[in-house]
Amino acid sequence: MEEYYYYIKSLHLIFVITWFAGLFYIPRLFIYHIEASKKPSPDREILTKQLQLMAKRLWYIITWPSAVLATFFAIWLLILNPVFLKMPWMHVKLGFVVLLILYHLRNHIIFKQLQRDEVKYTANYMRIWNEGSTIILFAVVFLVILKSAINWVFGVVGILVLGVLLMLGIKFYKSIRSKNPEA
């Protein structure tokens, strides 16, 4: 089975990438949907219907299957090479994976609400929410590349700095957008 290890690892990585692509884009569609809900008729109905269709296709054709397959191949890799489960950095990584799964499930709840035209969040809230997967991605990539749970403290500080920079970027974009709504 060892000769297949790198094929399985490649498939895991491919589905992690497509899973993240879905997680990066679905909150963006949520933002557009929320903004469309404030438009006058008939624009509101036309845009909402189109955005619901786009979200449904993204969520069920790309994001969910990618999440399931990335998880399947990850478990398979851990079965083939259980020594990773003894490494402290892997425990931290798996903690971030749990956070990613929770983020995914929360997106699913928001997706279902918007499919029913229940708008419970603001576009600004969704812009901040959209950065959740970015922060998790940074954490996981640094853990996997550096393979160090000792330095995870520095990574957490870096993630917090990244979070602050993202918030400043969102505020900056909001100020630009308020001056020019087409931006």
pLDDT at 176: 85
Q: Nearest CA to 26 among 96, 110, 141, 139?
A: 110
Contact (Cβ atoms closer than 8 angstroms) between residue 108 and residue 166: no
Residue 156 has pLDDT above 80, yes or no: no
Reported confidence tier of residue 97, pLDDT bands at 50, 70, 90: very high
pLDDT-based confidence at residue 183 (cuts at 50, 70, 90): low
Band of pLDDT at residue 174, cut at 50, 70 and 90: confident
**Mean predicted lDDT score pLDDT of the chain:** 91
- Rounding to the nearest 10 degrees, give the CA dihedral for residues 164, 28, 104, 80: -90
Burial, 158: exposed, middle or buried (Cβ in 10 Å; 0-12, 13-18, 19+)?
middle
- Tokens read off for 19: 């899973």
The band of 9, judged by pLDDT with boundaries at 50, 70 and 90, is: very high
Compare 99 and 143 and report the one with higher pLDDT. 99
Confidence of residue 98 (pLDDT cuts 50, 70, 90): very high
Tell me the pTM: 0.84
What's the maximum distance between 2 C-alpha atoms anywhere in the chain?
Answer: 60
Binding site, residues?
Answer: 12, 93
Are the C-beta atoms of residues 34 and 122 closer than 8 Å to each other? yes
Among the listed residues 87, 179, 92, 181, the one whose alpha carbon sits nearest the alpha carbon of residue 143 = 92
What residues form the annotated binding site for heme? 12, 93
